[in-house]
Amino acid sequence: MRLLVIAERAEYRLLVRKHVEIEWPLAELVEHRLAADNPIEEQFVAAGFDAVVIVGVPPAKSAEALAADLTAKPEFAPIVLLLLEDPPKTEPAAVRGLHRVYGRKIDRDRLIRAVEAASREHRQMLSALRSHPDFEHRYRFGSVMIRGHRCIRQVGSGGMCRIYLAESERAGTLVVLKVFNQVPDVSERIVSFDRFLQEYEIVAGLKHPNIVRIYDLGVADDHAYIAMEHFPAGDLRQRMKAPMLPATALKFVEQIASALSAIHAVGVLHRDLKPANVMLRADESLSLIDFGLAKANELEVSLTGTREIFGTPYYMSPEQGHAEEIDGRSDLYSVGVMFYEMLTGHKPYTGATAMEVIYKHKRAELPEIAPQFAAYREILLRLLAKSPLDRYQSADALLEAIAALKTAA
């Protein structure tokens, strides 16, 4: 039994879990926190669940409205709507895919019967869908068939892969699915594929709230794919288009520094920190993505070649721009550029060409910091120092400076 449980209050999600696990000890429940998690997206149909349980607390109009919206989707999994109130005098009209359970408390027997009925209904629905000639097409990503991931649409492409929005039946959520153009022969050491594998190995091993979640990795039809967290709230670049309070900017820098602390601790550099690689969740927590340019310090052979420049010039450290040796302090410089831009609304260095920007990072003086940002001057000066020796020597040192600033305030 696999259920999606939707409720605003944690105690109700826990109570449903306990009742279900008594009946089905091996049941898998995924919880969705109303008003805290990202809203359920239009394309999501809960295909990987036997049923969806929604808990409605009086007045339960919002739960009723959510259930109505979800059951209106032709393929959405059947819903058990637990309404913690007395039943109405007139029973509402029956709705396909909706099983109402009334009561001021959650009654285990009625809950289990409703879940069993919903599950049977879902199996019948899936059986009908599988008999349709076009059923297999939903798992096709271009020429590649990836079962367990329902293709919604292609959202991008690059030299190494095509990028899709998909629903992962296993993860029970929408995901970004990167499908590589090919799986090279093991003996070929193709750089792009090495970077892909490295991205997965780096991220999958780090369970950190500010690092993208990796749900799946595999090979299908001779193509590698990776399923990762989807961020409907967009990226920091979009967020920076609107005015930002200094306290918000500092909070964002603190989260980025926390992620870098975890990454650097395992000997990995990001090497391409920029607003487009910092994603937002609905609760305004941040997550670092795109480790395709990251490099483990222990690798004997650089995947990017010797003295080759990789990164975005606006956010690139002086040493990286000049293809010099880099370490974690280079990532911290990139954080400084983003912090400056979040505070002031513009980048510290711009130019007509990439090389002009790279030159300014190395030689130009930092533009004057406006008086209203005086409290952050020391952090900015340390992060944006030309020499790595003059910067914070670690992400942890930056976190300590932020904590001291917040305490002083």
At 276-287, the pLDDT tens digits run 999 999 888 999
The domains located in the chain, with CATH, are 2-130 (3.40.50.2300), 137-229 (3.30.200.20), 236-408 (1.10.510.10)
Whole-number pLDDT of residue 193: 60
pLDDT in tens, 231-264: 999 999 999 998 899 999 999 999 999 999 999 9
Residues catalogued as catalytic: 272
Cis geometry, peptide bond prior to residue 348 (ω within 30 degrees of 0): no
Residue 172 clears pLDDT 80, i.e. is over it: yes
User: Where residue 307 falls among pLDDT bands split at 50, 70, 90?
Assistant: very low
Residue whose pair of structure tokens reads 């929005």 in the numeric block? 165
Residue 375 clears pLDDT 80, i.e. is over it: yes
Whole-number pLDDT of residue 185: 53
Mean pLDDT of the chain: 89
Average pLDDT over residues 351-372: 94
Residue 99 clears pLDDT 90, i.e. is over it: yes
Whole-number pLDDT of residue 125: 93
Residue 303 clears pLDDT 50, i.e. is over it: no
pLDDT in tens, 175-211: 999 998 765 554 444 555 666 566 677 777 888 999 9
Whole-number pLDDT of residue 206: 86
User: Where residue 80 falls among pLDDT bands split at 50, 70, 90?
Assistant: very high
Whole-number pLDDT of residue 199: 65
Return the sign of the alpha-carbon dihedral for residues 342, 277, 355, 321: positive
Q: How much of the chain exceeds pLDDT 90, in percent? A: 71
Residue 76 or 196, more confident: 76
Residue 371 clears pLDDT 50, i.e. is over it: yes
pLDDT in tens, 24-46: 999 999 999 988 888 899 999 99
Q: How much of the chain exceeds pLDDT 70, in percent? A: 90
Whole-number pLDDT of residue 139: 95
- Closest Cα to residue 274, out of 171, 177, 357? 357
User: Where residue 293 falls among pLDDT bands split at 50, 70, 90?
Assistant: low
As beta bridge partners, residue 7 has 33
